[in-house]
Amino acid sequence: MLPAAHRMRHSADFEQAVRRGARAGRETLVVHLTTRTDPGPTGPVVGFVVSKAVGNAVVRNRVKRRLRALVGERIAALPASTSLVVRAQVPAATATYDRLGTDLDGALRTAARRAEAGR
């Protein structure tokens, strides 16, 4: 599970990660990955965006829980200065946990590669 200290809470943090971050997408999700320059939390921060297009409140909350659990399993591998936004796409509503995990891993690899190339 993703510790509360690692959750993004301010809209400005979301906006910075989405606008400045390296983006990578898969069928079920899109990730935006950036490096923070300001002093902040001692570890990576993660935010989730699951719009109403994904489904009703029950479906959206299930998708958010799954994504939080998946990112929580991978957070130790992220550098401490990382800001990550995970945005669910419509197919995430019917995707299996394993499929979400596979898509997340692929998107994180691609975004990290793009972020490194952009430096």
Question: Residue 29's closest CA among 3, 56, 72, 68?
Answer: 68
Q: Which two tokens stand for residue 90?
A: 């419509």
Give the model confidence (pLDDT) of 7-65 as tens digits.
888 888 888 888 888 999 999 999 999 988 776 667 889 999 999 999 999 999 999 99
CATH of the domain at 50: 3.30.230.10
Sheet of 22-25, strands arranged across:
22-25, 29-35, 82-88, 45-49
Q: Could you list the residue range(s) of the whole structural domain that residue 56 is in?
A: 4-117
Split into its structural domains, the chain has a count of: 1
Give pLDDT, residue 62. Answer: 97
Alpha carbon 40 to chain centroid, angstroms: 18
3-state secondary structure of 61: helix
